[in-house]
Structure 1
Amino acid sequence: MDHILPIVAGILLILAVLLAVVKRKISTNADFWFSMGMILADLGKYERAARCCERAVSIYPFYVHAWNNWGLALLKLGRHDEALERFEEALTLNPSLGEGWYNRGIVLEKLHREEEAEEAFDRARSLGVDP
């Protein structure tokens, strides 16, 4: 029985090291946080989804779809001005993002900026997204 204790302690140490490595890998993986944001949004947990997308862009600031989905989560939360900022960041990074233009149009409508909204919808249409 005395021989088992060092073996168990060694296994626990190895597991602790592996857990630390996995945790570090996850905490610095923008795709992981983006995916978690999408899952949480699908579950209607928009505040948590927004935080995950925020984490993704803090790791990789050029993550266009994370900016766009962050905006969608904020839109669902009724935080329209913040959502618009996120959509505009996505469009700055990729002006050809049709769904970004569409989402920008939606939030502009919510802000009663109809003319700008229609321009955004026109741009989305020109990029193959039909509002």
Structure 2
Amino acid sequence: MDPILPIIAGLILITVVALVSIKKRFAENSDFWFSMGMILADFGKYERAARCCERAVRIYPFYVHAWNNWGLALLKLGRHEEALERLEEALTLNPALGEGWYNKGIVLEKLHREGEAEEAFERARSLGVSP
């Protein structure tokens, strides 16, 4: 038997163990899923972006920006009621999230709730966010 074969087999085993470890770290990393969601949204893949943000908040339920971006992805998909729910969750976690108030205003406009939308936009402006 060639003496190099056990060395190659060992290297393959080490590589497989390393890949499994890396995969597990990514699977349990909310920042990874949030980042993937942002990248997918940039490419117009809103359904997949929404799923990534959902995964991020399942890992870390207090991930305000993942809730916000999940709402944005749902907005782009025309799922306005669901988008509003996600944005309201983000704002429950951080009422000072100006971007969240602005996004909520957009969703409320889509739902023809203009009075509430203007209140959300005003709140966003008071937090330094404007169109």
**TM category, shorter:** over 0.9
| 1:1-131 equivalences in 2 (<5 Å) | 2-131=2-131
What letter corresponds to residue 75 of structure 1 in structure 2? L
> 2 CA distance for matches of 1:129 and 1:11?
53
> 1 CA distance for matches of 2:5 and 2:80?
59
CA root-mean-square deviation: 0.7
User: How many residue pairs were aligned?
Assistant: 131
> 2 CA distance for matches of 1:130 and 1:23?
40
> 1 CA distance for matches of 2:116 and 2:124?
12
> 1 CA distance for matches of 2:3 and 2:59?
45
Unaligned runs of 5+ in 1: none
Equivalent position SS for 2:128: coil
**Identity rate, percent:** 81
What letter corresponds to residue 129 of structure 1 in structure 2? V
Q: Please report the TM-score for the alignment, with normalisation by the length of structure 1.
A: 0.98
> 2 CA distance for matches of 1:106 and 1:119?
11
> 1 CA distance for matches of 2:89 and 2:115?
20
Cα deviation, residue 5, structure 1: 1.3
Cα deviation, residue 130, structure 1: 1.1
Cα deviation, residue 75, structure 1: 0.3
> 2 CA distance for matches of 1:91 and 1:42?
23
